[in-house]
């Protein structure tokens, strides 16, 4: 708690673009080290989604008491899942001259140095501490020349972050940061002849990799999207068919009722004589039979 403090982050309820972004740190929207800089960046768990190609992402790092932007590098396939790749660039550790966004971090007693190191002394209780990439990777060559054994290597010292673009979920993080101590000549006998040097103390390699179960869920996203699109197309198609089918049925129903009414009006009256009934005359049982009328009574019929 002494170093990382209490974090308040946005939930995205009022503005979804603020999802997971830092709101207050140690109950303030600025840091004591840089009171002129408003807090910005993700705390690491969430990013505003969906991610946009070409747009950088940012993190708020309590170790540095500031925001650190990571530039978009491209798209790749990470274990069967599409991923956006972000890589650390030289501007991440540039001074306020080369990167105007860092000007507010340098206060009255701030010592401006060449690009490649960030002065985080005010964040570490006034200790002459500076942050950089390991082995002064992407820093001004001046720093490597002051210390023997510095061998910057892209594969070992570059910052790389991979995120799933639709959910913003972290697939892999390789964050490398080195802490350096400023050594300067002092009037004390021990440091009288020392030259000004940014001496590397330690560098850390933070590695994060998505678990297999979460990766399995991410692989289902394209399938669910395809199923959703198919269901949507079928639903729209069915709705359009119903939209045209119902008026068509009403039209033919009205036309049929009108035809029935006309046929009813044109039907002749039924004769009272049963022998003239079309049903009787047309009956196959009565073929060849004749009805002969007689005046002799009902028993004389033949």
- ω into 190 cis (within 30 of 0): no
Are 85 and 162 a contacting pair, CB within 8 Å? yes
Distance (Å, whole) CA 282 – CA 218: 77
Question: Does the pLDDT of residue 161 top 70, yes or no?
Answer: yes
Q: What angle do CA 92, 98, 100 make, to 5 degrees?
A: 80
Are 152 and 176 a contacting pair, CB within 8 Å? no
Question: Does the pLDDT of residue 40 top 60, yes or no?
Answer: yes
Q: Which of residues 120 and 85 earns the better pLDDT score?
A: 85
- Mind listing the pLDDT tens digit for each residue in 91-123? 899 888 888 888 888 766 666 788 999 888 888
Taking residues 172-181, report their average pLDDT: 93
Model-level pTM greater than 0.85?
no
> What integer pLDDT is reported at residue 171 of this predicted model?
93
């Amino acid at each position: 708690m002494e170093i990382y403090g209490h974090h308040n982050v946005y939930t995205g309820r009022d503005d979804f673009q603020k999802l997971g972004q830092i709101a207050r740190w140690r109950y303030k929207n600025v840091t004591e080290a840089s009171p002129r800089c408003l807090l910005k960046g993700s705390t690491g768990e969430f990013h505003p989604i969906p991610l946009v190609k070409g747009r950088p992402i940012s993190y708020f790092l309590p170790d540095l008491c500031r925001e650190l932007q990571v530039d978009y590098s491209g798209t790749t396939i990470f274990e069967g899942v599409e991923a956006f790749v972000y890589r650390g660039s030289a501007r991440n550790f540039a001074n306020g001259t080369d990167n105007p966004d860092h000007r507010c971090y340098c206060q009255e007693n701030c010592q401006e140095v060449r690009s490649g190191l960030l002065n985080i002394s005010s964040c570490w209780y006034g200790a002459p501490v500076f942050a950089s990439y390991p082995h002064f990777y992407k820093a001004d060559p001046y720093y490597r020349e002051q210390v023997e054994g510095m061998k910057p290597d892209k594969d070992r010292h570059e910052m790389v972050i991979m995120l799933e673009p639709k959910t913003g979920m972290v697939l892999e993080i390789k964050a490398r940061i080195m802490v350096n101590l400023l050594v300067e000549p002092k009037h004390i006998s021990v440091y009288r002849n020392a030259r000004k040097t940014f001496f590397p103390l330690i560098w850390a390699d933070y590695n994060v990799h998505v678990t297999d179960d979460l990766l399995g869920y991410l692989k289902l996203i394209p399938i669910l999207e395809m199923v959703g699109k198919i269901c949507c197309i079928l639903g729209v198609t069915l709705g359009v068919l119903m939209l045209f089918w119902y008026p068509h049925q009403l039209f033919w129903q009205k036309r049929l009722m009108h035809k029935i009414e006309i046929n009813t009006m044109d039907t002749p009256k039924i004769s009272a004589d049963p022998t003239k009934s079309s049903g009787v005359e047309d009956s196959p049982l009565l073929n060849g039979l004749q009805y002969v009328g007689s005046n002799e009574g009902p028993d004389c019929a033949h």
